[in-house]
Homo-oligomer: A and B are copies of this chain.
Amino acid sequence: MLGNFSYHNATKLYFGPDSLDYLNEELPKYGKTVQLIYGGGSIKKNGIYDAVVAILKKNGKTIVEDGGVMPNPTIDKVRDGVRIAREGKVDLLLSVGGGSCCDYAKAVAVSVNCPEDPWEKYYVRYEEPDCNILPIGCVLTMAGTGSEMNGGAVITNPAQKLKRGHVFGQEAMPKFSVLNPKFTMSLPKRQMIAGIYDIFSHICEQYFSGEDDNTSDYLAEGLMRSVIHSALIAVENPEDYEARSNIMWSATWALNTLISRGKTTDWMVHQLGHAVSAWTDATHGMTLAAVSLPYYRLIMPYGLQKFVRFATEVWKVETQGKTDLQIAEEGLAEMERWMKKIGVALHISELGATPEMIEGIADSTNLLRGAYHPLTRDEVVKILKESL
């Protein structure tokens, strides 16, 4: 049942092998000075940096450099980015990289004209921006987070061992995003796989909540089937454009609010994954994969019908002569087989977590209430131990 909600997503997307050319259409809409945000420098090796700089220069832009955004962007880096933007009096933040860079750009965009500390304002008090927000453009080089068409910005506070997300409104979302599937081919295979699981988890975490009949869940099933199918092809051949393009497009629609319209959502796998990352600095998508199965097996009896639907609609589990519980368990077993085939991490120990960290990770885990079964802290510890 779809109750009261609104939907508004004005981000303009340019997709495909020639999509970078459209920067030439977008850049003239903004002022002269562009803060060029990127990560560890891989875009300098694969030619994307040079291509973007050439277009910026052609359009008469002054470039203010802001490289070195880490995979889990820190609040200190955000503070540094804010300083760069203020000193450079920049007119546009252009993120060239994966979701980390785009998340970081949003955190900078909402803080440049704000006198308060961004961590305190947005990640402790969870206030909304009450200052002018800088416009953001995004050239995406990794499929996964969906940051290119949403308002989410996940930032890490290493000193406090906290990794937290804030979903900002329309004004902090990218004005435009360039999605070239070929750019994603420059990534190491492990990063591709982590991104694929991040996408799949986004869909699951919106799907596994609520008992109603809801169009959003049918759309979610369509996206899941597309991702499952294309992932198997992309893992065999990362150069397969068809698979990589479907993965990239699915990533955007998995987390641009569409499939959560009119329904409740879960998001506990992300809370668990964030806590693991905060302690290990492990790759986001892999942390989600490593905690997913123990989590879903724990909540499954409380949302049995949805897990039965997941098994039959997504994994084509045969139902004849089986109990609902057997069907639901087979669905998760199929999911596990797929996870093994694509090669995600299935244990947090693979990601650097140790038995000594369990209590600390549990302390860092934000407990949400949207799931079929809201977790207790003891259950968080149980899941983490099973994930080890």
Contact = CB atoms under 8 A, between A and B. Distances in A.
Contact of A4 (B7, B15, B220, B225): B15
A123 interface: no
Contact of A261 (B15, B22, B214, B220): B15
A14 B6 contact: yes
Contact of A1 (B9, B22, B215, B242): B242
B181 A2 contact: yes
A230 B181 CA distance: 36
- Output the residue of A181, A218, A246 with the most chain B CB within 10 A: A218
Contact of A3 (B3, B13, B16, B261): B16
Contacts of A14: 6
A208 interface: no
A8 interface: yes
Given A4-B16, A15-B5, A245 B262 contact: yes
Contacts of A258: 253
- Output the residue of A7, A12, A22 with the most chain B CB within 10 A: A7
A219 B249 CA distance: 11
A170 to B, nearest CB: 9
Nearest to A245: B2
A249 B220 CA distance: 14
B213 A242 contact: yes
A215 to B, nearest CB: 4
A51 B226 CA distance: 44
A250 B215 contact: yes
A246 B2 contact: yes
Contact of A213 (B13, B223, B246): B246
A212 interface: yes
A223 B218 contact: yes
Contacts of A17: 3-4
Contacts of A103: none
Report copies per complex. 2
A248 B230 CA distance: 30
A3 B245 CA distance: 8
B15 A262 contact: yes
A18 B242 CA distance: 42
A2 B143 CA distance: 14
A337 interface: no
Contacts of A229: 213
Interface of A: 1-19, 22, 181, 212-216, 218-223, 225-226, 229-230, 241-243, 245-246, 248-250, 253, 258, 261-262
Given A4-B17, A7-B12, 15 more contacts: A1-B246, A2-B246, A3-B245, A8-B11, A8-B13, A16-B262, A213-B229, A213-B246, A216-B249, A218-B222, A218-B223, A219-B222, A219-B223, A222-B223, A249-B261
25 contacts: A1-B242, A1-B245, A2-B248, A3-B17, A4-B15, A5-B15, A5-B16, A6-B13, A6-B14, A6-B22, A7-B13, A9-B9, A9-B10, A10-B10, A15-B261, A16-B262, A213-B230, A213-B242, A213-B243, A218-B223, A219-B222, A219-B226, A219-B253, A220-B222, A222-B223
Q: Which 4 A-B pairs have the closest CB atoms?
A: A222-B222, A4-B16, A2-B245, A218-B226
